[in-house]
Amino acid sequence: MEEKQLKSLESILAEPKNIVIVPHVNPDGDAMGSTLALQHFLKAMEHNAAVITPNNYPDFLEWLPGSTGVIIFEDETERAKKIIAQADVIFTLDFNDLTRSGYQMTDVLKESSATFVMIDHHQEPERYADFMYSDANSSSTCELIYDFINRLNRIHLITVDIATCLYTGIMTDTGSFRFSSTSSNTHRVIADLIDKGANNAMIHENIFDTKTPQQLRLLGVALKNLKVIEEFQTAYITLSQEELNQSGFRKGGTEGFVNYGLSLKGIVFAVIFIENKQEGIIKISFRSKGRFDVNKFARAHFDGGGHLNAAGGKSGKNMEDTILHFESLLKKYHNLKKK
């Protein structure tokens, strides 16, 4: 965001406003961390700020400071619509296309006459917002929220709760600081958040050490289904609806599974295919190492997108046909072929 735009937005925020903060559908750690951190910050500036998520978020994020006040659109639709209708400003965080708010919420947002502010780090943003704070090179939306607060010269307003939310989002979106998007600036931000009270050991424990026996059993099923295609340095996992049901699957229960494929020696492209019979689709997560661009791969073939090394997509075919289509595509990507 250019300085002139930032000053204009700062002027809008100079007086108390009704503000709505929206993450993408199926919000993850970065989405929830950034929205809740921004809510705490805006409340400190005496704004009336509400977080409205399109749908529910994983159990392992329910401990985040402020999460008990989150309004879930699909559960409280009429209440959410009224709050959105009264909003002076709407922040959309961790997505850059309004359709990522879910088909029900997208139409409601499009009808709003509020000032829209996008803060996001995904590639190829749609230009629906009045103000865009977008940087695809940033590790996370939480890092951008920290930079946003810093550029407003209000770092002193970062409390323990804000620091905790921001640390959580940066940590989860960088794979505990091991992805290539982790920069020296990321580490400087993390150091400051710890100085401001973020308890890094507690945050890691709350995110990663809360697995249930059902989740571990599901991981076992996923690893049993792992297939390696050495010729194309690719590994993928499949999980059917039946396998999910038998393991007592809950939202967020497959978090991180795709990374197991990427942990194999010699693998640069890892994928997980998860059947969702309720929506009639196969949900797909892509991960890569180096310069293989899964954002372009997802956009070109699976109605998705994301980042260079992490993206998502979907398929309307059944699992068998989706896998056949995926395997046929690998032959077109010569940079994957083992030399």
Q: Which domain holds residue 91?
A: 3-208
pLDDT of res. 179: 86
The last residue of one of the domains, among 190, 208, 226, is 208
pLDDT of res. 52: 98
| Whether 146 and 28 share a structural domain | yes
Task: Say which CATH number the domain at 300 has.
Answer: 3.10.310.30
Residues of the chain with pLDDT under 50: none
Q: How many domains does the chain have?
A: 2
| Whether 182 and 225 share a structural domain | no
Strands 234-239 and 227-229: antiparallel
| Whether 51 and 145 share a structural domain | yes
Task: Say which CATH number the domain at 179 has.
Answer: 3.90.1640.10
| Whether 226 and 200 share a structural domain | no
- Distance separating alpha carbons of residues 152 and 66, to the nearest angstrom: 23
CB-CB contact of 50 with 39 (8 Å): yes
For residue 280, what are its two tokens? 């009639």
| Whether 182 and 236 share a structural domain | no
| Whether 193 and 218 share a structural domain | no
- Asked if residue 336 belongs to a domain, the reply is no
pLDDT of res. 284: 97
pLDDT of res. 255: 86
pLDDT of res. 71: 98
CB-CB contact of 282 with 315 (8 Å): yes
Burial state string for 147-183 with b = 16 or more CB within 10 A and e = fewer than 16: bbbeebeeeeebbebbbbbbbbbbbbbbbeeebbbbe
The last residue of one of the domains, among 162, 180, 208, is 208
Global pTM reads 0.89
| Whether 255 and 147 share a structural domain | no
- Distance separating alpha carbons of residues 102 and 80, to the nearest angstrom: 14
DSSP string covering 8-39, please? HHHHHTTS--EEEEE--SS--HHHHHHHHHHH
The last residue of one of the domains, among 186, 208, 230, is 208
